[in-house]
Amino acid sequence: MEKRRNGEWGWDPRFSGSPLLPLLPSRSLALLFFKLRMWKLLLISPIILTVYIGAFSSQLDGKSELPNSLKELKESIDKVLQNKILEKVSVGIQVVFQDSGEVVYQSGATQLLNPASNTKLITSAVALSQLKPEYTFKTAIYTDKLANGVAQNIYIKGFGDPDLSSENLWIMVKDLLNEGVQTVEGDIIADDSFFDNQVIVKGWEDFTSPASVGVSALSVNENTIKLFIKPGPKPGLPPLVSADPPLSYLRMTNRALTLAGRGGISTIYNQDNGDGEVIVSGGISRKSKALYSEIQVGDPALYTIAVFKEILGNLGIKVQGTLKKGTLPSKARLLVLHQSQPLSVLLNNSNKISDNFAAEQILKTLGAELKGAPGSTEKGIEVIREFLKEEVGIPPDSYVLENGSGLSRENRVSPEQIVKLLRYMYNNFEVRSEYLASLAVAGVDGTMKRRLRDTFAERRLRVKTGALKGVSCLSGYAFTRDNEVLTFSMMINGYTTGGYPIKQIQNQIGLLLTEFQRATYAKKEGI
């Protein structure tokens, strides 16, 4: 075979038996291949780069897909709200991105509606911001004279504790024993002057249930007596009735009967100057399980010292005087001081389980602490109005507040105002964690324990519910698939269908919010 000479074309014997490729010198050949590859890269690189950058930017900020995904969410909410049961019903809703404030959805967002217990979102927000999460409620025991184990008078002064219990009083009496008190030769005197004497909160006149129990600076067991009613051994005999706490002064008038068939029990409680009578009437089926009932006390302060006196006797401290109300002398000696759990913990009662009593106690405490004792509903609302105006930017004349719990036919706020407050609280680092922790968690606890369980929304909604006859509200925060926070408020007033179907509508919208994802392609591709 002819070989290559002086750089000319030739044939390489390694390819004998088949057509042979022309060869170049090794350096020239390498250079040629390099140039060919570079031209190929230059031709296809712009295409690859364009596709990559487009995909990356879409994943980064979702802008190319944002209009479509938001449009889908709005259409889905519109579809839910087209339910026939919402015809001729007042519906207000606003949903915004927490970070930017951009409105995701709104309809009737500025109309004033009854918020029911969503009012507690306002009361608790102001309390956390003004009193601070570590604030505690005090209950103190004093005497005007103590010598040789004998106290002249015992005073118990309350400062609005919404969580004081018989167990707490028991511990306080044990501390009295440690202080050397063996006998009280005078009276047990209740001082409830930290609040005004308005026991029934304004707006509660239309409601008669333990949900509207009276408030007082000196309260115990949320000012209720628990009754347990068990059928008698056979029809015609009275049922067995017991009370908690088991007070010796409590007179039980049992006019009820055990029945062979169905029956109904009613209870009435009358209190006069520390003495109390419970009247039980009606009938209870022989096959019925034990019934549980709560009755409201007439005078919370007198009820508290009646429970206190009972515990004194049980622990061996003799009381020679009577029970009455009065004011602590200026030179009284402090014997025992009880402090409640922090406000941040007590707000669980107000917000998670929607305790009206706790909310109103907190409202009057706000008034007493910031406007001076005695605390009142009016002073508490004055504090709220100042806070909403100065801190949140909500004018005082743009809403109506009658009380702090929402148990009112007159309260009126808008979904937009609730959202504005919620955004403020989320951005307030000092109290954000405590505020969020006080809210009910979907599918987990409080008033949301049985709602949205085993759905994507479980644990991804932190909210406050609200309900009265014809009123249902749901407001709070939703955590989306993109890990963004949506702040929202839904208020529905004037329905006649019952609360369950309305809650289902709220649940559907809550679920849509948690499932929201900015980029529609991410849903399809499973990214």
Reported residue count of the chain is: 527
d(CA 269, CA 255): 13
Annotated active-site residue 376? The verdict is no
Annotated active-site residue 117? The verdict is yes
Question: Which is the catalytic residue, given 69, 76, 120, 309?
Answer: 120
CB-CB neighbours of 40 under 10 Å:
10
d(CA 145, CA 473): 54
Contacts with 407 (C-beta within 8 Å, 6 or more apart), sequence order? 117, 201, 203, 204, 207, 211, 212, 356, 468
Helix or strand or coil: residue 421?
helix
Strand pairing class (440-441; 240-244): unpaired
How is residue 317 written in tokens?
A: 């401290």
- List beta partners, residue 267: 280
d(CA 477, CA 171): 40
Question: Which is the catalytic residue, given 69, 76, 117, 408?
Answer: 117
CB-CB neighbours of 232 under 10 Å:
17
CB 251 within 8 A of CB 272: no
Question: Which is the catalytic residue, given 58, 354, 438, 475?
Answer: 354
In this structure, which amino acid lies at residue 348?
Answer: N
d(CA 209, CA 357): 12
**Torsion sign over Cα 22, 27, 31, 33:** positive
How is residue 254 written in tokens?
A: 């049992």
Contacts with 212 (C-beta within 8 Å, 6 or more apart), sequence order? 200, 201, 204, 356, 407
According to DSSP, residue 354 is labeled -
d(CA 21, CA 524): 51
Annotated active-site residue 84? The verdict is no
d(CA 267, CA 271): 13
CB 97 within 8 A of CB 486: yes
Burial environment of residue 52 by CB neighbours within 10 A (0 to 12, 13 to 18, 19 or more)? exposed
Helical spans, DSSP H, in 62-98: 66-81
**What is the edge-to-edge ordering of all strands in the sheet holding 440-441?**
103-107, 90-97, 485-493, 471-479, 461-468, 440-441
Among 296, 280, 297, CA closest to 240: 280
**Residues with catalytic roles:** 117, 120, 354
